[in-house]
Amino acid sequence: MKKSRLSLYPALIFFLIFFLLPVYVVIVTSLKPLGDISLDTMWSLPKSFDFVNYSLAWEKLGPSVINSFQLVIPAALIASFLGSMNGFVLAKWKFPGADVVFPVILFGMFIPYQSILIPLVTTMRELGIYGGIPGLILVHVIYGLPIMTLIFRNYYASVPNELIEAAKVDGAGMLGTYFRVVLPISIPAFIVAIIWEFTSIWNDFLFAVVLTGPSSWPVTVALNNIAGSQIVQWNVQMAGALIASLPTVLVYIILGRYFLRGLMSGALKG
């Protein structure tokens, strides 16, 4: 038994290398001095460390990293709060037809956003919020509602009904029950929801590229632009790739358990 298990490690380590290979290349390339770019040595460790690539990449990406934070933080907070209220109502304070409304809401998280893009751009132009971060926040909040509602509805479904009934007996109305009984026990669900929104908005490209201009580009759009140009060296591009993924990777490393729970609910399994 023991021996046959030991023989599994080569396979596990092979896949470990497969998943880490790109990470290795990003790190060693981004640390090599600009002159040291000969193709033949791309897999070798750098002879000397040089952080100049990072300062060059930051020159190009810095403003867009700040844009991304200004976009992601309010959007994730607002969307998760709205999702929490929706989830509470759909799990514990149902109105007639709530069980039909729920899948109708969920469909919104699967649609290809191309299918609403032209009306969306038209509407945002009419409202005068096209091309800036506030408009993009609004869009991410709205299209984040289905998954946020799903995460909180699943979480509240496991809250005992007696807890809600007890609050009612004490004379609490719906808002009182929500704020005094339900919200205080919602912290785990909020962590899952906020991490999910943070990651998916940070990583979004389609809405960002269509709805923002150069001064409000989030980091995905800015990175794609320096990658497309021939002038920017690979060393700088790899440093940029690392800068662009660092916030979400750090969240993943620190709060991985909650990240995984969000992923699972995305498959409709609570």
Q: Site residues for other proteins, window 154-173 (CB under 8 A)?
A: 173
222 alpha-carbon distance from chain centroid:
17
Which of the residues 47 through 66 are near other proteins (CB under 8 A)? Answer: none
Cα–Cα distance measured from residue 156 to residue 17, given in angstroms and rounded to the nearest whole number: 40
Cα–Cα distance measured from residue 244 to residue 62, given in angstroms and rounded to the nearest whole number: 10
Burial class (CB in 10 A: 0-12, 13-18, 19+), 121: middle
Q: Sketch the per residue contact string, 75 through 114, with other proteins: x for CB under 8 A, - otherwise.
A: -------x--xx--xx--xxxx-xx-xxx-xxxx-xxx-x
Cα–Cα distance measured from residue 232 to residue 59, given in angstroms and rounded to the nearest whole number: 12
202 binds other proteins (CB under 8 A): yes
Minimum CB distance to other proteins, residue 160 (Å)? 18
Size of the site for other proteins (CB under 8 A): 93
Nearer to other proteins, 133 or 201 (CB): 201
The DSSP string of 144-158 is HHHHHHHHHHHHHHT
**How many CB atoms neighbour CB 235 within 10 A?**
25
Q: Name residue 226's beta-bridge partners.
A: none
26 binds other proteins (CB under 8 A): yes
Minimum CB distance to other proteins, residue 184 (Å)? 18
70 binds other proteins (CB under 8 A): no
- Looking at 34, 185, 249, 254, which residue binds other proteins (CB under 8 A)? 249
Stretch that binds other proteins, among 50-58, 70-78, 140-148, 159-167 (CB under 8 A): 140-148
256 binds other proteins (CB under 8 A): yes
